Amino acid sequence: MTLPRGFKTQAERIAEELRARVGATNSKPLNLTAVAEQLDVQVISAADLVPLERLQEIERIQTYAFSACTFEINERHVIVFNPLMSAGRQASDIAHELAHIILDHELAEIQYLDGVPFRTCQPGQEEEATALGGTLLLPRKLLLQHAREDAAIEQIARKFGVTRKMAQYRWNTTGVERQVARERSRRNAQR
């Protein structure tokens, strides 16, 4: 599956605009609570809804079975996240759900799990939400700045409160490493 033409550029614009509205800089993690407030979205831990033991049982039965989901209650979006996940994973999951809301995705596909029906977004919309969610957390300009400073993937992940996997995903999909290598090569050639 591939993103629609121009989607990555659109995602960067959305991220830049939204980050500016909440005062996010390229030196601090995105405050997802502030983003949710801007969008009038409530974000709550699943542990506030069900006993933590139930969540632990689900995790024991199937690892990563539940990360986060979005409900619409009284015309307001509510994101419920799994508190058992690492803080970096929670950030990715919440950003992903916020991306669905920003992109106005509809729950359109019915799937069955052990005979129980549930609604999901179409695979293309999931890919868009993953791309925009990652862009909200680590926009290209931010990554480019840190690549020019020789920051390692692990440093970026720690500094911006994301998983190493998310930092690597954004690093790979933005091409910042190649751009910085070309810039350095040109500078060295001019000497």
Residue 189 lies in a domain: no
| Confidence class for position 43, pLDDT limits 50, 70, 90 | very high
Residue 86 lies in a domain: yes
Enclosing domain of residue 109: 7-137
For the chain, the domain total comes to 1
pLDDT of residue 121: 67
What is the rounded CA–CA span in Å between residue 7 and residue 82?
A: 29
**Could you tell me the CATH number of the domain that includes residue 66?**
1.10.10
Residue 151 lies in a domain: no
pLDDT of residue 100: 95
End-to-end Cα spacing for the chain: 44
Mean pLDDT of 106-117: 57
Residue 148 lies in a domain: no
Confidence check: pLDDT of 114 > 70: no
Read off the pLDDT of residues 127-169 as tens digits, 9 standing for 90 and up. Answer: 999 999 999 999 999 999 999 999 999 999 999 999 999 999 9
DSSP character string of 76-123: EEEEEE-TTS-HHHHHHHHHHHHHHHHTT----EEEEETTEEEEE--H
Residue 77 lies in a domain: yes
| Confidence class for position 52, pLDDT limits 50, 70, 90 | very high
Q: What is the pTM of this model?
A: 0.89
Residue 1 lies in a domain: no
**CA 40 and chain centroid, separation:** 18
Asked if residue 38 lies in contact with residue 23, where contact means CB atoms within 8 angstroms, the answer is no
Residue 191 lies in a domain: no
Residue 96 lies in a domain: yes
Mean pLDDT of 104-125: 65
Structure tokens at 13: 């614009």
Confidence check: pLDDT of 109 > 70: no
Maximum average pLDDT range among 5-9, 25-29, 183-187: 5-9
| Confidence class for position 59, pLDDT limits 50, 70, 90 | confident
Give, in order, the Cα–Cα distances in Å from 183 to each of 142, 146, 189. 17, 14, 10
Give, in order, the Cα–Cα distances in Å from 120 to each of 10, 14, 124. 23, 23, 11
